[in-house]
Amino acid sequence: MARFWVCAAAAVFSLAFLILHSCYCGPPMLRSFVFVNRWTPEKPLYRLDLDWPKYSEMFTGTPFCVAVDSANGLVYVAQRGDNIPKILVLSEDGHLLRAWNYTVDTPHGMFAASTPYEQTVWITDVGSGSFGHTVKMYNSFGDLVQVLGTPGKKGTDLNPLQFDNPAELYIEDTGEIYIVDGDGGLNNRLLKLSPDFMMLWLHGESGTGPTHFNIPHSVTVDSAGRVWVADRGNKRIQMFDKVTGEWLGMWDDCFTEEGPSSVRFTADGKYVFFAQLNLSRLSFVAAPPAGSVGRCSVVSTIQLADQVSPHLVDVDRKTGAIYVAEIGAKQVQKYIPSSS
């Protein structure tokens, strides 16, 4: 009997606490959010910027990639579809500045680079039409400045250079170019070119062993001189020395469910993060110090809604914002550091 009264008193007390708690500590949703945060080590690093873009109707097709020119505050988006402008140029605050589709067939990956003389954007084109199978540089107004590859013709040659479904590229401030080729075509390779487009080194073998690729889909370079490749079909990330091309290691333990479609570093260099298309997820891993690749241990995630399908992403090196091209949701979204 005494036990009954203790329980009843406890129940009444708990109920009173809950009611008072929800009166004074905000609505139940917020409360459960606080509760969840206390019991998971994960604190969100980023939050969605609901104010970007200014008009979501500007995405009239399916955005496959995004590239940020942080020096000039420009965000490029490449979308696929019929009778639409394929390249959109937006401001950092989400206004559409201009657009073009001239000489763009089927965009896949992008990289924004700037010189003191010119604002440029590079696009990998996986189309099978007369502009496809190329890696192209445009100025910020859509004038075609440089074409690598044989337009309209896929191939495996190195001289002259040919591509088949070139997936993405990364360009260092020094002008050195890293290209992953490609997205399920004839080639599974990572090429490094000099600023005047001469081959510096190459890993070109299909397969599952070290340095081999199966759909090398995204590439980036860190401040410690390592090249990171999202080897999507092999469900891993491989790392290379950017000078010699030497294999440094790989991460596969994070990708038992699905391989990475995109790889980037946060602007502060603290995290390397990757997108998983079908899981609709971004995952953050502490960036390993120079001289070691360490292990893949996810410390934070951004779980997007089902079917959003993040394809390729890019980072604003000045503001730290992350832009995500979502082929399921047919939009690009902007995430900003929670601390800002």
Ligand X SMILES: *[C@@H]1O[C@H](CO)[C@@H](O)[C@H](O)[C@H]1NC(C)=O
The residues that touch ligand X, with contacts defined as CB under 6 A, are: 83-85, 99, 101, 232, 258-259, 261, 277-278
Which helix (H) or strand (E) segment holds residue 35: the answer is helix 28-39
Q: How far apart are CA 227 and CA 190, in angstroms?
A: 10
Q: Which residue is nearest to ligand X (CB)?
A: 83
**Shorter beta-carbon distance to ligand X: residue 60 or 114:** 60
Q: Is 3 exposed, middle or buried (0-12, 13-18, 19+ CB in 10 A)?
A: exposed
Instruction: Kindly state the smallest distance separating residue 122's Cβ from ligand X, in Å.
Output: 20
Helical (H) or strand (E) element with 168: strand 166-171
Q: In angstroms, what is the minimal distance from the CB of 252 to ligand X? A: 15
Lookup result for tokens 């992350």? 322
In this structure, the chain runs to a length of 340
Residue whose CB is less far from ligand X, 109 or 288: 109
Between residues 232 and 236, which has the closer beta carbon with respect to ligand X?
232
Q: Which is nearer to ligand X, 261 or 266 (CB)?
A: 261
Supply the minimum distance, in Å, between the C-beta of residue 142 and ligand X.
Answer: 11
Asked if 140 and 119 touch (Cβ cutoff 8 Å), the reply is: yes
Q: Give the other-Cβ count within 10 Å of 143's Cβ.
A: 13
- Tell me if residue 7 falls in helix, strand or coil: helix
Burial profile 227-244: b = 16 or more Cβ within 10 angstroms, e = fewer: bbbbbbbbbbbbbbebee
Choice between 77 and 287, CB closer to ligand X:
77
